[in-house]
Amino acid sequence: MPAANEPAPSVLLLGEVHDNAAQHAVRLEAFKKLLTTGARPALLMEQFDREHQAAIDVLRSTPARIDATAVITAGAGSSSWNWAFYRPFIDLALAHDLPIVAANVSRTEGRRVMSQGLTASGFEAAVPRDISEALSSTIEASHCGMLDTATAQRMVNVQVARDQFMARLIEANAARGVVLLAGNGHVRKDIGVPRWLSAVTQAKTTSHGYLETGDDTGAVKSGAANTAYDTVNFTAAQKRDDPCEAMRGKVSKPPVT
């Protein structure tokens, strides 16, 4: 039970478009505000793969003072996240002695799930049809129509594995409170992590989508009911190259012999 002057533990799912700098700044302010209330949640991060949790824990257990750079070095592995966006969250977690939890299933594990299925990697294989169909459609769209349905379905299993694993970590840390940093797809109430939470944990979970202007993900439209998120925060779109153009370029290139 929280002390009388502490807020009841809550679970906040903070979505993101990974390269949108404005969104990271807004989320950081939300995290700071939460900490000023006395909350001391576990910080779950999609940016760290779960096989690096032990290295993070060993580092945290050493008497020497550590900083965000040391945590990133221990937990990043070969990932290519823009750590400038996440370093301030890690700094705050260290300053307030919060657990830092690696919340992602790695690409290597993902390939195993794609080839062998969910059960072989210890995940629940009974995926509700609405989740499977929605994720398949989203994955096909994100690959600019250049992905066959069978491959998209195997990739659905990877997304589900990640959602299930994040949900397990939330359940394990819910008693103290949780902040999850993950992509918008993971934090969606209708097809993401919340679908794999217990009813008790769902009741104290809020999902915050951070979308770019013009994005109608999850029927987020003016006057439309939003079934994907509890709150939606819009920012201007980050300037970036057209990803579909890059994909078309790869497809059109002749194979290297």
Specify the CATH number for the domain of residue 57: 3.40.50.11550
The answer to the question of residue 121 being in a domain is no
Six token digits for residue 204: 């104290």
Q: Has residue 129 been placed in a domain?
A: no
* Tally of domains within the chain: 1
Q: Find how far residue 254's CA is from the centre of its chain.
A: 35
- Asked if the structure places residue 84 within a domain, the reply is yes
Is 56 inside a domain boundary?
Answer: yes
Task: Indicate whether 201 belongs to any domain.
Answer: yes
First to last CA, the chain: 64
Cβ–Cβ under 8 Å, residues 226 and 207 = no
The residue type found at 132 is: S
Q: For residue 159, is it within any domain?
A: no
- Structural domain for 78, as ranges: 11-106+173-252
CA–CA dist 102, 171 (Å, integer):
14
Residue 246 lies in a domain: yes
Which among 66, 87, 6, 23 has a CA at the least distance from the CA of 235? 23
Is residue 156 in a domain? Answer: no
Q: What is the pLDDT along the chain (257 residues), one digit of tens a residue?
A: 455 566 789 999 999 999 999 999 999 999 999 999 999 999 999 999 999 999 999 999 998 889 999 999 999 988 889 999 999 999 999 999 999 999 999 999 999 999 999 999 999 999 999 999 999 998 988 878 778 888 899 999 999 999 999 999 999 999 999 999 999 999 999 999 999 999 999 999 999 999 999 886 654 443 444 689 999 999 999 888 876 776 665 544 433 33
Helices (H), the chain: 21-36, 53-61, 68-75, 83-95, 107-116, 129-142, 149-173, 184-187, 199-203, 243-252
pTM of the model: 0.90
